[in-house]
């Protein structure tokens, strides 16, 4: 590999700094080309966004080891947009992972009680010439990671009412995943995988790491999955994933969502995985009333509890947030007349 700042005359790259400058140079070149609005074919080629019959490419959304995702408009539904994800099935591992993701995502989206307000919906999926194509609901406002970054920069805290609405909505998504038969464990809850719709609703997305289980007793929690490898993102992993005997259940999602809630309440980013709830600093919550602070701390500490058996369930989070806060637009009696397994969305 060669690089020279003022010309393309060959000169070997000597260190990581040179390599960074080279990468930056090409990124700047492509950014300039992008601003010049290049032909669709150039963008599709660069980002690996194949043409999809019935849809028109609008915008690049993301690229990673999983493949690429783009924003597309529909030829059949004016004004409707979709996120379309592409995965090259060029290895046996990708074929297996792709098939599993589609099967699980499809099963979740087809369930009669699917909570459309809490989970991103899969519209269609198929394979075309060894490329897996997944057509999904489009989240116009991006993801929670960038939203929190923006709020930190502007020092723009959520209102207590907004927090209640978001907490309940995301807990509903986990309740749906955890309470059915089969049960689904997301295993990668983090701000990057929580998407924001045009209506500013937060929804759980990215089902590439989901585990399907068939527990005999969903409430007892006596059945655990043996973890041979780390699944999820390091900062959001609970203790049972990284410490012997490496056994976990659906409560891994509760831990991770508790850390997401913590970031939303304090606007502090989780950079290092906490070992327990006592390591969380709630000192930046002066904008809330004392009783609101107590409730938020209780919810988050109950989710980020080192003993998974004592960790809150998704249903108990919904119950506490709904009953203790009358300002949330959620019926306060959902648990007075119905059992935890009968919540209506």
The half-sphere exposure of 194 on its side-chain side, counting CA atoms within 13 A, is: 28
Q: Are 175 and 207 in contact (CB under 8 A)?
A: no
- Every domain of the chain and the residues it spans: 1-37, 40-136, 144-342
pLDDT tens by residue, 19-61: 445 556 656 665 665 555 555 554 555 556 778 999 999 999 9
Please list, in sequence order, all residues whose beta carbon lies within 8 angstroms of the beta carbon of residue 327, skipping any fewer than 6 positions away: 160, 161, 164
The half-sphere exposure of 218 on its side-chain side, counting CA atoms within 13 A, is: 18
Superfamily of domain 144-342: Transferase(Phosphotransferase) domain 1 (1.10.510.10)
Closest CA to 193 of 139, 242, 152, 155: 139
User: In whole angstroms, what is the distance from residue 34 CA to residue 200 CA?
Assistant: 28
Predicted confidence at residue 180, as pLDDT, reads 87
Grade residue 215 by pLDDT with cuts at 50, 70 and 90: low
* Residues facing residue 213 across a β-bridge: 183
What's the per-residue H, E or C state across the chain? CECCCCCCCCCECCCHHHHHHHHHHHHHHHHHHHHCCCCHHHHHHHHCCCCCCCEEEEEEEEEECCEEEEEEEECCCCCCEEEEEEEECCCHHHHHHHHHHHHHHHHHHHCCCCCCCCECCEEEEEEECCEEEEEEECCCCCEHHHHHHHHHHHCCCCCHHHHHHHHHHHHHHHHHHHHCCCEEECCCCCHHHEEECCCCCEEECCCCCCEEECCCCCCCCCCCEECCCCCCCHHHCCHHHHCCCCEECCHHHHHHHHHHHHHHHHCCCCCCCCCCHHHCCCCCCCCCCHHHHHHHHHHHHHHCCCCHHHCCCHHHHHHHHHHHCCCCCCCCCCCCCCCHHHCCC
* Residues facing residue 80 across a β-bridge: none
Tell me which fold the domain 40-136 belongs to: Phosphorylase Kinase; domain 1 (3.30.200)
Find where tokens 């970031």 sit: 263
User: In whole angstroms, what is the distance from residue 343 CA to residue 332 CA?
Assistant: 12
Averaging pLDDT over each range in 34-48, 219-233, 283-297, 328-342, which range is the top one? 283-297
43-47, 96-100, 216-220, 261-265: segment of lowest average pLDDT: 216-220
Grade residue 245 by pLDDT with cuts at 50, 70 and 90: confident
User: Which tokens belong to 103?
Assistant: 């099967």
| Residues above pLDDT 90, as percent of the chain | 55
pTM (two decimals): 0.79
User: In whole angstroms, what is the distance from residue 47 CA to residue 54 CA?
Assistant: 20
Q: Are 95 and 89 in contact (CB under 8 A)?
A: yes
Instruction: Tell me the pLDDT of the chain averaged across its residues.
Output: 81
| CB count in 10 Å sphere of residue 92 | 8
Closest CA to 267 of 144, 155, 142, 143: 155
Grade residue 149 by pLDDT with cuts at 50, 70 and 90: very high
* Residues facing residue 132 across a β-bridge: 87, 127
Q: Are 118 and 204 in contact (CB under 8 A)?
A: yes
pLDDT above 70 (res 209): yes
């Amino acid at each position: 590999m060669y690089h020279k700042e003022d010309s393309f005359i060959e000169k070997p790259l000597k260190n990581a700094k040179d390599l960074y400058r080279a990468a930056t140079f090409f990124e700047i070149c492509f950014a300039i080309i992008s601003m010049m609005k290049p032909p669709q074919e150039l963008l599709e080629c660069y980002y690996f966004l194949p043409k999809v019959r019935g849809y028109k490419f609008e915008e690049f959304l993301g690229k990673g080891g999983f493949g690429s995702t783009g924003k597309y408009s529909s030829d059949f539904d004016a004004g409707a947009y979709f996120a379309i994800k592409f995965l090259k099935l060029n290895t046996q591992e990708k074929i297996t992972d792709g098939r599993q993701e589609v099967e699980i995502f499809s099963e979740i989206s087809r369930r009669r009680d699917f909570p459309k307000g809490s989970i991103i919906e899969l519209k269609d999926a198929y394979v075309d010439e060894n490329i897996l194509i997944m057509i999904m609901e489009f989240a116009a406002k991006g993801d929670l990671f960038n939203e929190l970054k923006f709020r930190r920069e502007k020092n723009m805290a959520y209102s207590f009412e907004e927090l209640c609405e978001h907490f309940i909505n995301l807990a509903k998504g986990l309740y749906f995943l955890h309470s059915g038969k089969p049960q689904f464990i997301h295993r990668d809850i983090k701000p990057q995988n929580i998407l924001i719709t045009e209506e500013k609703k937060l929804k759980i997305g990215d089902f590439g790491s989901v585990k399907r289980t068939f527990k005999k007793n969903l409430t007892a929690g006596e059945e655990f999955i043996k973890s041979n490898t780390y699944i999820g993102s390091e900062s959001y992993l609970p203790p049972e994933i990284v410490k012997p005997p490496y056994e976990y259940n659906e409560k891994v999602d509760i831990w991770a969502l508790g850390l997401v809630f913590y970031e939303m309440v304090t606007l502090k980013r989780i950079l290092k995985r906490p070992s327990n709830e006592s390591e969380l600093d709630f000192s930046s919550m002066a904008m809330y009333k004392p009783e609101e602070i107590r409730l938020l701390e209780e919810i988050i500490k109950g989710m980020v509890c080192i003993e998974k058996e004592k960790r809150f369930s998704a249903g108990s989070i919904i119950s506490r947030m709904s009953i203790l806060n009358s300002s949330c637009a959620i019926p306060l009696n959902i648990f007075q007349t119905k059992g935890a397994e009968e919540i209506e969305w």
